[in-house]
């Protein structure tokens, strides 16, 4: 589905001419809110290092006027591809979690992914939240009954009304190969970033040190890829 509504883009720019642009692809659904503040802190740090940084709203999310149930992973992929082609100069795509499922159609000089997650795991958690909320409300539902329901009609999962197409695409979605790509996880190894998995957090938090580590890792990857 082609979606032409222009979406809001958060843009933080350097004071001088930019070295390049970092286009952040946020985590999906509630995980985007939980990581937003830390992500924006990383954007500020990258802007201080001379990068233009962008964080677009996905259609159907945040300030978007598009109803969420009208979008799916394919439309998010093309929206990001469209955003990327409008950017001049060297571009790095930086995706977090489920963002890695929709970043591969973009045109970029390099990709960077933090803790990519499969779509099946995301949809399982959303459905479980619905089952738990139903149970509190005295309604009996199960992953099976929700899956059956999702085959034919939009399903409300933790505040997100998702179309049958979206749920079907999420169920099998994996991060796709792109080059050059650097994938980092949380941890203490060479290809890890120290920090907390804020995307799991029940209440939004902030991790200043992790924001700095994200910015430093992306800046170093940019240099490795010849973007100075």
Question: Using the rule CB under 8 A, which residue among 1, 48, 67, 142 binds another protein?
Answer: 142
208 binds another protein (CB under 8 A): no
Nearest CA-CA partner of 123 in 100, 146, 153 = 146
Span near another protein by CB under 8 A; candidates 18-26, 127-135, 165-173, 211-219:
127-135
**Distance between CA atoms of 27 and 115, rounded to whole angstroms?**
10
> Which residues have C-beta within 8 Å of that of residue 187, sequence separation ≥ 6?
193, 194
Q: Give whichever of 127 and 218 is closer to another protein, judged by the CB atom.
A: 127
Mode of pairing for the β-strands spanning 9-12 and 51-56: antiparallel
94 and 80 in contact (C-beta within 8 Å)? no
Q: Give whichever of 158 and 216 is closer to another protein, judged by the CB atom.
A: 158
Nearest CA-CA partner of 54 in 77, 20, 15 = 20
**Distance between CA atoms of 20 and 52, rounded to whole angstroms?**
6
3-class DSSP state of 52 = strand
Binding mask 1-40 for another protein (x = CB under 8 A): -----------------------------x----------
Q: Which of residues 147-176 bind another protein (CB under 8 A)?
A: 158
49 and 43 in contact (C-beta within 8 Å)? no
185 binds another protein (CB under 8 A): no
131 binds another protein (CB under 8 A): yes
Of how many residues is the chain composed?
A: 228
135 binds another protein (CB under 8 A): yes
Span near another protein by CB under 8 A; candidates 5-13, 89-97, 118-126, 174-182:
118-126
209 binds another protein (CB under 8 A): no
Q: How far is the CB of 74 from another protein (least distance, A)?
A: 24
Q: Give the binding site for another protein (CB under 8 A).
A: 30, 121, 124-129, 131-133, 135-136, 142-144, 158, 196-197, 200-203, 205
């Amino acid at each position: 589905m082609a979606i032409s509504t222009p979406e809001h883009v958060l843009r933080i720019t350097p004071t001088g001419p930019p070295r390049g642009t970092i286009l952040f692809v946020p985590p999906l659904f509630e995980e985007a809110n939980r990581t937003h503040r830390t992500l924006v802190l990383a954007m500020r740090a990258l802007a201080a290092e001379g990068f233009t940084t962008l964080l677009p709203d996905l259609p159907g999310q945040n300030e978007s006027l598009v109803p969420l149930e009208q979008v799916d992973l394919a439309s998010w992929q093309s929206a990001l591809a469209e955003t990327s082609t409008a950017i001049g100069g060297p571009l790095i795509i930086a995706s977090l979690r489920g963002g890695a499922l929709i970043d591969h159609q973009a045109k970029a000089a390099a990709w960077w992914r933090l803790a990519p997650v499969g779509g099946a795991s995301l949809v399982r958690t959303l459905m479980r939240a619905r089952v738990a909320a139903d149970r509190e409300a005295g309604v009996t539902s199960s992953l099976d009954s929700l899956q059956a329901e999702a085959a034919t009609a939009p399903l409300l999962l933790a505040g997100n009304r998702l179309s049958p197409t979206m749920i079907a695409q999420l169920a099998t979605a994996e991060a796709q190969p792109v080059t050059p790509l650097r994938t980092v996880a949380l941890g203490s190894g060479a290809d890890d970033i120290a920090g907390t998995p804020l995307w799991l957090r029940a209440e939004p938090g902030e991790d200043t040190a992790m924001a700095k580590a994200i910015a430093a890792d992306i800046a170093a990857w940019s240099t490795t890829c010849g973007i100075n």
